[in-house]
């Protein structure tokens, strides 16, 4: 894991160089940014979620769809249901289940993004908000698909 001092070192390291990507302790860096391990874990989780949805009959319409400040990880369709899927990936459940980290603010952003998506495309579908929780432990990966995950909000 990289911390504040590592990032400070990287910024100083680039100050006197040509700003091309370099390796720092085995991690690729560019202009003061280190590709965080949690970002890599998140991408792995999203890939696993896409594969899971396809295996279960969903058609993937969008990945990482953005509207204003919102990002919907996956927009998928099965029959006449449009599923807005938030993917949460963790390497441990020590602090709680992955799905427990979705805030009411995030839910509000997801709702506004999907509303815009449906209106712009003039879609006549039922919209459902799902969560796919991915828990990647050392030699074990668990995927849990929670349909209609935001009904209690």
Whole-prediction pTM: 0.71
Q: Which residues pair with 22 in a beta bridge?
A: 29
Domains of the chain: 4-34 (no CATH), 37-146 (3.40.1350.10)
Task: Check: CB of residue 70 under 8 Å from CB of residue 112.
Answer: yes
Task: Check: CB of residue 38 under 8 Å from CB of residue 27.
Answer: no
Is 9 a residue whose pLDDT tops 70? no
Pick the closest to residue 75 from 31, 66, 134 (CA basis). Answer: 66
List, for residues 48-102, the tens digit of each pLDDT value: 999 999 999 999 999 999 999 999 999 999 999 999 999 988 877 667 776 777 8
């Amino acid at each position: 894991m990289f911390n504040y001092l590592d990032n400070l070192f990287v910024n100083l390291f680039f100050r006197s160089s040509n700003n091309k990507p370099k390796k720092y302790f085995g991690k690729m860096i560019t202009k003061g940014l280190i590709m965080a391990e949690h970002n890599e874990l998140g991408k792995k989780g999203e890939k696993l979620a896409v594969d899971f949805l396809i295996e279960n009959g969903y058609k993937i319409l969008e990945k990482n769809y953005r509207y204003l400040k919102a990002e919907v990880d996956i927009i998928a369709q099965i029959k006449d249901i449009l599923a807005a899927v938030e993917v949460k990936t963790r390497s441990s459940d020590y602090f709680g289940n992955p799905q427990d980290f979705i805030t009411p603010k995030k839910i509000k952003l997801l709702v506004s993004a999907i509303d815009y998506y449906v209106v712009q495309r003039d879609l006549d579908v039922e919209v459902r908000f799902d969560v796919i929780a991915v828990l990647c432990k050392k030699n074990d990966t668990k995927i849990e698909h929670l349909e209609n995950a935001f009904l209690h909000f």
